[in-house]
Amino acid sequence: MKIKLDENLPAALSRELANLGHDVQTVPQEGLAGRSDSRVWEVAQSEGRFVITQDLDFSDIRKFAPGSHAGLLLVRLSSPGRGALRMRVNILFENEDVGAWSGCFVVATDRKLRVSRPHPSGTGSRRS
């Protein structure tokens, strides 16, 4: 999976996800740190990258409708320390079929995972 890791996630995740076989680029590595969310999104989509972020600016499923992008994982933990974030994302990428998340809007909390997939007809979305 081609991934764009937002600047609000631990840099160590880049190496860890790469070790799992993913092509990972980070916002800081590309000189996008501090740039607008819309610019980061634009670059990620032009590269066909799945975005992983904690930024609530990406939380509107209407704006980021499943099927309208390469995919988005919004991580929302009650205590989002660096270790907790690394652990949660690693657990997801080791145990879930993340390859099936292409085009999906995914929200991960401490204990839950919600995957909104593109609707088969191309309109709307369905959750799993």
Instruction: Check pLDDT > 70 for residue 123.
Output: no
Q: Are 69 and 45 in contact (CB under 8 A)?
A: yes
> pLDDT value at position 37?
92
How many residues does the structure list for the chain?
128
121 vs 50, more confident: 50
Write 112-118 long-range contacts (CB < 8 A, 24+).
Answer: 116/61, 116/66, 117/66, 118/66, 118/67
123 vs 47, more confident: 47
- Nearest Cα neighbor of 50 from 108, 106, 113, 110 is 106
pLDDT band, very low/low/confident/very high, at 119 (cuts 50, 70, 90): confident
> pLDDT value at position 84?
96
pLDDT tens figures, 87-105: 999 999 999 999 999 999 9
> pLDDT value at position 120?
73
Instruction: Check pLDDT > 70 for residue 42.
Output: yes
Please provide the average confidence, as pLDDT, over all residues in the chain. 92
Q: Are 26 and 52 in contact (CB under 8 A)?
A: no
> pLDDT value at position 72?
98
Instruction: Check pLDDT > 60 for residue 26.
Output: yes
Nearest-angstrom CA–CA distance, 128 and 111: 15
